[in-house]
Structure 1
Amino acid sequence: MDKISSESENFQRIVGKTMISDLPDDLLVQILLLVPTKDAVATMILSKRWLSIWTMMPTLNYEDSECKSVWQFFNKSLKIHKAPVLESISVHLGRECPVDEDVGKWITNAIDRKVRRLDFKLNWSAKPIKLPESLYTCNTLVTLRLSQKILVELVSQSCLPSLTLLDLKYVVFKDEDSLIRLLAGCHILKFLHVKRHIEDNVKNFKVKVSSLEFIIYEYDNYDNTGYIRGSLVIDSHALKKIIVFDNSGDSCTIENTPRLDKASISAMCYLGDKFMLSSLIIFDVLFNIGTVKCCTTINFSQLVECRIQPFDFDWLEPLMVLVQNSPKLKLLLIDQTVGINENLPLSWNRPSCVPKCLLTHLEIFEWKEYGGRSEEKELIRYILANSRCLKRVSLSMKSTCDLEDKEKMMDELKSMSRISNSSQLTDTLLILNYYYLARIG
């Protein structure tokens, strides 16, 4: 009680004791939305005028996940909350949440009041809990975020006619059918973010949502001892952007995506034959033995920007095949911050014909963690000698090189002949110094 009194005194000092209480209820509610929910609730003891103002707030946030009292505070405050419509409710409960509490009852409460945005993270010490079935038939939900100790179990198809954003982080599915039933009822879903762990009960993860425009899929499984290989299949006709991070070794297939124009693929697996990427404009890829076939057999007729991250294989010649298949490429980035193996042999042979993009389009070439190996030098020499439209070449030297070696390598590069008189060679990366995925998302 002393804490609440102190908080109310602070609030009084901030807003003053006179004029503010004369404002209309609607405006006072808007003011309370600017402060944390617990502070808004504390204003109820200021005066009779303030007693019920906070109960009309359309947005509630309870995110003190490690506080022992947050669950009790949440329970009590929700019981006296009066807003007929809940625009948004966010609840993050940590390990201090009592395991015998019925955490599903507040979800039912929120659904009864036509909640539009719901964010529930449960990280208690008990097993994952099944949420009320009414959650998956809520016709007002626009955004749904579920995290951690939550069991997604559906015995029939969901019906979420307003849902446009679905975010699932480390949840557990009853079975693969529950995943299929959940997605099947999301007819206008635009954005899907999935972050998985190995014990989520799904071997074959299939996303078939015709309205989906952007998907982020993350499966971080470094310790895959005894792991049975599965698959990822994405089939979404409206898909425009995709980010995949998957080191599980599962197979990966993207099909029926004629509108896909931006993709970031970081996968330690063999990409399927139906991997449709020919419409891409921006492409970010972990260039490894599993992705190389896809990257060297597709005609990237629309590709303008490409970042490759070579990983533990002989990559120089496959890169030139990709460049050969990308006639409109303007921006080529090589990022060697991962997977550098200095003992791995590299092969270099000049292409039989100059790639069209070098003659007509390539303007920017950047290389991060350039090592100065003879084969790498030949690649740069070839690009400088054949890129007629080149405006800027930027390189950062390998971090293990000392200053003298870096200066020597830069002098060697500057001495190479260039067909483009307007090209500049610098050691300042203008694009790779930023998080490249921002260009995707």
Structure 2
Amino acid sequence: MDTDLISNLPDDVLGKILSLVPTKLAAATSVLSKRWRNLLPLVDSLDFDETMLFYPDNKDGEDEASSYESGQRRRHSFSHFVDKTLALLSNAPLTEKFSLKCYHESDGARINRWIRTALERGCLELNLEAANYLPIDSQYFTSNTLVKLTISDGFYPGGHLLPFGGVFFPALKTLTLVSVCFTSVEMINFFIHGCPALEELFLCVWMQYMSSPNVKRVTITSDFDDDIQRPSMVLKTPSLVYLDYSSYVAGNYYVVLDSLVEARLDLRLYEPIIYDEDGLWNAEVFGNITNLIEAIRTIKILHLSPSSLEVFYYCCDLPVLEDLVNLSIESDKEKGWEVMPRLLNKSPNLQTLVVKVLSSFQENTHKFCSFLSLYMSNGGVVS
């Protein structure tokens, strides 16, 4: 007779195993035998992904039937599955991760109940993603245990996010907001201020204003280029040590970066309006990154993309970067090579220069050799 070795494992080990498989499969094991019936509460990671449940052959719900009836059936099936699974969990704590990705469900009250259940059971990591705009009830959006939170696309905090109520995550260390809709600058800042222990922040599409006294690492990505006159960027983060900033050039920069050590910049010009009607560069259109570079002048490590070097050429009066010891650049643009000698002259204590030459290297060989010769003559090291 074959021995069922897996079923003979301790409950806590089986719980860890079930945490590694899709939640649909973990829930289905409860019907295998009496031995498996009560193991689901030991699962410490739940991933409710509607596309995985009902479109297993497609990615991200691609090409699913679009009829109203079909969508309704899928919505009810998904909702029933989540409700039943959470009911099977009884009052067991969710000690690790709760992930919710829904694309047809529009019952805000029901979804908020799922989120509230996860938070009340002490989960450490919460991931939320939706196709429809779904408000999160900020009245219950609190947790003393949550350390990592990701909100993407359709979900958005609703209600009044005030300092004395609403969002409060005293243990949260990492926050990721991807295309999250905030109705005002005040709301996103009240949200961030409700996370006093926050250390790492990722923002994809934001409102050009952010303030946090404690955050240490920030990544900002914004790809919209539809506004000719870019708004100003305000970033008040006195404890920040690492900044990764990717965006089109803003009209101006008002930043506090007193503790910054390392920066990775991917700044881009609004290509169709590089020149005005007379064929001359228009400074008012481009904005000016001088204030941003002034604010990071004490950094030690700087990474620049090809487009950033071009921005340096057009939009910046370079300050002296006294503390810069490590500079990493990529370039495939003519103006990027032309700005390099000026950048090197403004970096008197540079020790290491890392150069990645891209596809158009041959067209700019003479410029590359020129600044390389200048740098080497001053005792620099090139990688």
TM-score of the aligned structures, taking structure 1 as reference length = 0.67
Structure 1 residue 296 displacement after superposition: 1.9
**Residue in 2 aligned with 1:233?**
234
What pairs with 1:35-114 in structure 2 (closer than 5 Å)?
A: 35-65=21-51, 67=54, 68=74, 69-82=77-90, 84-87=92-95, 88-94=97-103, 96-98=104-106, 102-114=110-122
* Structure 2 Cα separation of the partners of residues 378 and 61 of structure 1: 53
**CA-atom RMSD, angstroms?**
2.9
For structure 2, the 5+ residue unaligned runs are 55-73, 270-286
Contact 2:156 2:180 in 1 (8 A): yes
Name which of 164, 167, 178 aligns with 2:176: 167
Structure 1 residue 289 displacement after superposition: 4.0
* Structure 1 Cα separation of the partners of residues 376 and 318 of structure 2: 21
Contact 2:331 2:357 in 1 (8 A): no
Q: Which has the higher helix share?
A: 2
Secondary structure of the 2:291 match is coil
Greater Cα offset, 142-151 or 239-248? 239-248
* Structure 1 Cα separation of the partners of residues 26 and 3 of structure 2: 16
Q: 1:102 to 1:295 in 2, by over 3 A?
A: farther
Give CA deviations for 1:276-303 in whole Å, capped at 9, x if unaligned. 1122232223123467554722424223
* Structure 1 Cα separation of the partners of residues 17 and 328 of structure 2: 47
1:213 aligns with 2:221: no
* Structure 2 Cα separation of the partners of residues 271 and 305 of structure 1: 18
* Structure 1 Cα separation of the partners of residues 265 and 370 of structure 2: 28
What pairs with 1:183-332 in structure 2 (closer than 5 Å)?
A: 183-196=192-205, 202=207, 205-224=208-227, 229-247=230-248, 249-268=250-269, 269-271=287-289, 273=291, 275=293, 276-285=295-304, 286-289=308-311, 294=316, 296-309=318-331, 314-332=335-353
Structure 1 residue 115 displacement after superposition: 2.1
**Residue in 2 aligned with 1:368?**
358
**Residue in 1 aligned with 2:279?**
none
Structure 1 residue 29 displacement after superposition: 0.7
Structure 1 residue 139 displacement after superposition: 1.9
Secondary structure of the 2:6 match is helix
Give CA deviations for 1:375-410 in whole Å, capped at 9, x if unaligned. 7515514533761556767xxxxxxxxxxxxxxxxx
**Residue in 1 aligned with 2:126?**
118
Q: 1:298 to 1:45 in 2, by over 3 A?
A: same
Q: 1:295 to 1:110 in 2, by over 3 A?
A: farther
**Residue in 1 aligned with 2:189?**
180
Structure 1 residue 117 displacement after superposition: 1.0
Letter in 1 for 2:161: V
**Residue in 1 aligned with 2:138?**
133
For structure 1, the 5+ residue unaligned runs are 1-15, 334-364, 394-441
Letter in 2 for 1:47: S
Runs of 4+ in 1 over 6 A off after TM superposition: 390-393
Greater Cα offset, 233-242 or 282-291? 282-291
Contact 2:145 2:171 in 1 (8 A): yes
Q: 1:381 to 1:228 in 2, by over 3 A?
A: closer
Name which of 377, 380, 383 aligns with 2:369: 380
| % identical equivalent positions | 20
Q: 1:288 to 1:252 in 2, by over 3 A?
A: farther
* Structure 2 Cα separation of the partners of residues 392 and 259 of structure 1: 24
* Structure 2 Cα separation of the partners of residues 28 and 175 of structure 1: 47
Contact 1:160 1:186 in 2 (8 A): yes
* Structure 2 Cα separation of the partners of residues 86 and 135 of structure 1: 17
Structure 1 residue 304 displacement after superposition: 1.2
TM-score of the aligned structures, taking structure 2 as reference length = 0.77
Letter in 2 for 1:44: S
Letter in 1 for 2:209: K
**Which of structures 1 and 2 has the bigger CA Rg?**
1
* Structure 2 Cα separation of the partners of residues 279 and 218 of structure 1: 23
Secondary structure of the 1:177 match is helix
Contact 1:244 1:267 in 2 (8 A): no
Paired residue total: 333
Give CA deviations for 1:176-206 in whole Å, capped at 9, x if unaligned. 2111111112211111111117xxxx4xx32
Higher RCO (CA-CA < 8 Å; seq separation 6+) = 2
Letter in 2 for 1:263: R
Structure 1 residue 270 displacement after superposition: 2.3
